[in-house]
Amino acid sequence: MMVSVAIQRLPHGDGLPLPAYETAGAAGMDLRAAADAELAPATRCLMPTGIAIALPEGFEAQVRPRSGLAVKHGLTVLNAPGTIDSDYRGEIKVPLINHGDKPVKIARGDRIAQLVVAPVSRVTWRESSGLETTARGAGGFGSSGHR
């Protein structure tokens, strides 16, 4: 499914590539840092990307970590996945945290996260005095891994 989304390049995003799919089968587009930063171990920052988007109603954009940064440096998105709602028009900023044991330098233009645009289902609640039973029942937090 192809969705047309308006994107605005903000002044501090000038010269940076717009988010793009890096391979034909990629689900996410890379977001890039619009500033330089250095994150010491156990610190976080809110990294600007220099872009704002206008998603159509019925869609969200999810901000997700890049696996390479997580594995190599311990750098990840703090509230992953973060949700950008269809009515938000501000700059996309990525909350990054360094879980590694060494400082991580981020240069303007570095790929720092992925953006996945996805449809959103809206629900209406139908209150019930009970729920249908399943084999799993109320078991949670690892219960499906036990025999």
**Average pLDDT of span 39-59:** 98
At residue 135's C-alpha, the angle toward residues 129 and 137, to 5°, is 40
Helix/strand/coil for 112: strand
Residue 66, CA distances (Å) to 112, 113, 123 in order: 7, 5, 31
Q: What local confidence, expressed as pLDDT, does residue 145 receive? A: 65
Average pLDDT taken over every residue of the chain: 94
| Residue of 94, 129, 97, 132 lying closest to 114 (CA atoms) | 94
Q: What is the pLDDT of residue 119?
A: 97
Confidence band for 9, pLDDT divided at 50, 70 and 90: very high
Report the predicted TM-score, pTM, of the whole model to 2 decimal places.
Answer: 0.88
The count of structural domains within the chain is 1
Q: Which domain holds residue 60?
A: 25-121
What is the Cβ-side half-sphere exposure of residue 28, based on CA atoms within 13 angstroms? 17
Whether the Cβ atoms of residue 81 and residue 117 lie closer than 8 Å to each other: no
Evaluate whether residue 4 is within a structural domain: no
Would you say residue 61 lies in a domain? yes
Whether 58 is in a domain gets the answer yes
> Burial, 90: exposed, middle or buried (Cβ in 10 Å; 0-12, 13-18, 19+)?
exposed
58-104: per-residue pLDDT in tens?
999 999 999 989 899 999 999 999 999 999 999 999 999 999 999 99
Where residue 35 sits, what CATH number does that domain have?
A: 2.70.40.10
Domain assignment of residue 43, yes or no: yes
Whether 17 is covered by a domain: the verdict is no
Q: Binning pLDDT at 50, 70 and 90, where does residue 143 land?
A: low
